[in-house]
Structure 1
Amino acid sequence: MNKPGRTAAHPSTKRALQEVRIIGGQWKRSRLPVPDLPGLRPTPDRVRETLFNWLGQDLSGWRCLDAFAGSGALGFEAASRGASEVVLLEKDRAAAQALRASAQRLCAATMRIEQADALLWMRAAPRGHFDLVLLDPPFAAQLHEGALQAALPLLAPRGHLYLEAAEPWDERLAGTAGLQLLRHSRAGAVHFHLLRRREGDGGTTTLAAGIHTQQGASE
């Protein structure tokens, strides 16, 4: 997934040679290549471990969307844990090709990789289809508000949404967005959140503001 990152200590080393490992499920310890693309930073192992501890390790029957897939670390983790459908969206052609190659290598029959603009794809997608939407847009692109607006209608009743951001998303703004903040934690400069669609929300709520600097609920 896309993260703000430090400059590599050895600029001559191609990040295409780097890999991220799947940490749980049927493909545990399998490795995914990280394409050599500016700003591409996979979600760290510790963050993914925390997320799937929150969700539970068995996602059998879940329909999941990884909207800004990047390395695919989050989407492959969901598929590895038994999700019945996992859609990965990636705008960059080379990154999308790498994701398809990894899915083919793992015989990932439940996964579908779309080379697409995430916001446009989500706005056109059927409502209420996904049990889990994973959002980790590039921090510098300021896509968080638009991504949340586009993702909320896609959630099934009581569906979950995962959000990574440079700042915490507080309970007040979560409520404004029609979401309930369940968990929040921080790893370095990254705040990560688990939210759930509120019962009775039809997915038409408009966000009043973007990410807020006030500290949200944390473990």
Structure 2
Amino acid sequence: MSAKRQRPVKTARSKMSKQPVKHTAAKSSKSGVTGQVRIIGGQFKRQLVPFIDADGLRPSPDRLRETLFNWVQFELHDATVLDLCAGSGALGFEALSRGAHYVTFIELQPKQAALLGQTAERLKLPASSLAVHVGDALSLIPTLALKHRAASVAEQTNLQSSDNAFGYHLVFVDPPYDLELWVPLLTALIENKLVNKHTLFYLEDRREISQTLQGLAYNYTLLKETKMGQIFASLIQVQIEA
């Protein structure tokens, strides 16, 4: 994926959805599964991704995911992706379905993290295409950075390695709204050098991006934005010095 590809800055808005998006219901089981979302495009189109009933876990609606992946469709080939606060993992698995090279999932809930692993096995994804880390995203970012730097020393000639020090191509930043984690997460990613000036960030919130990122110490460029129902979705790049 070309890091220097020019991207349009003109914003794109879509009309508000008049109908709520329904997720496929799933019967409760010993694993605690209470719902499923469907992968909407790519290699695993129509495959189901299960999730549990947990505080703050709200899979992105189908129409919003479709909009997001229309935005980044030409950026996904061989991309390395970070799915912070992964939840159902729908965004990360959708990225893999559409050609991403590697996805790192971070999920706080152990049961949901186990489901991510089970979904990967069911989709027959090779272990080299993803990693699932269990814990708080903000706390895990420094540890993740250390692992990436160590791996990059061992694979200096492979710039497309899943573990490189040059930064993720795409990061999904979709934490539980009430925790107000957008600015701390972006700041931690930047300070730990897991992202760079070419990285694309996708954010969801109940507020416009200017309010969501109020207090961020870095300037950013808004590439795309839309509102569906009560959700604002934005695609940005942060102006990070090399």
State the one-letter code of the partner of 1:103: A
Indicate conservation of the 8 Å contact 1:170/1:181, yes or no.
no
Cα distance in 2 for partners of 1:146, 1:157 equals 18
Q: How many angstroms does 1:175 deviate by?
A: 8.4
| TM-score, scaled to structure 2 | 0.72
Indicate conservation of the 8 Å contact 1:57/1:81, yes or no.
no
Offset from partner CA, 1:20-68 (integer Å, 9 cap, x none): 0000110000001121223321011101100011111661110000011
5 Å matches for 1:73-152? Answer: 73-109=90-126, 110-124=129-143, 125=145, 126=148, 128-152=166-190
Indicate conservation of the 8 Å contact 2:225/2:235, yes or no.
yes
Q: Which residue of 1 aligns with 2:234?
A: 193
Q: How many angstroms does 1:190 deviate by?
A: 1.2
| TM-score, scaled to structure 1 | 0.79
Unaligned runs of 5+ in 1: 1-12, 204-219
State the one-letter code of the partner of 1:21: R
Q: Which residue of 2 aligns with 1:44?
A: 61
Q: How many angstroms does 1:17 deviate by?
A: 3.5
State the one-letter code of the partner of 1:99: L
**1:60 matches 2:77:** yes
Query: Structure 2 vs 1, CA of residues 121 and 128 (structure 1 numbering), >3 Å: closer, same or farther?
Result: farther
Cα distance in 1 for partners of 2:105, 2:175 equals 13
Indicate conservation of the 8 Å contact 1:25/1:81, yes or no.
yes
Q: Which residue of 1 aligns with 2:11?
A: none
Unaligned runs of 5+ in 2: 1-26, 149-164
Cα distance in 2 for partners of 1:24, 1:174 equals 36
Percent identical pairs in the alignment equals: 37
Q: How many angstroms does 1:174 deviate by?
A: 9.5
Cα distance in 2 for partners of 1:159, 1:174 equals 20
Q: What is the SS of the residue equivalent to 1:64?
A: strand
Which shows bigger deviation, 96-105 or 150-159? 150-159
Q: Which of the two has higher C-alpha Rg?
A: 2
Instruction: Give 1:167's match in structure 2, choosing from 182, 207, 210.
Output: 207
Q: What is the SS of the residue equivalent to 1:101?
A: helix
Q: How many angstroms does 1:120 deviate by?
A: 1.6
Q: What is the SS of the residue equivalent to 1:41?
A: coil
Indicate conservation of the 8 Å contact 2:183/2:215, yes or no.
no
Aligned residue pairs, count:
190
Q: What is the SS of the residue equivalent to 1:56?
A: coil
Aligned-residue CA RMSD (Å): 2.4
Q: How many angstroms does 1:173 deviate by?
A: 5.3
Q: What is the SS of the residue equivalent to 2:199?
A: strand
Indicate conservation of the 8 Å contact 1:179/1:196, yes or no.
yes
Indicate conservation of the 8 Å contact 1:174/1:180, yes or no.
no
Which shows bigger deviation, 121-130 or 79-88? 121-130
5 Å matches for 1:13-32? Answer: 14=28, 16-32=33-49
Instruction: Give 1:184's match in structure 2, choosing from 200, 214, 225.
Output: 225
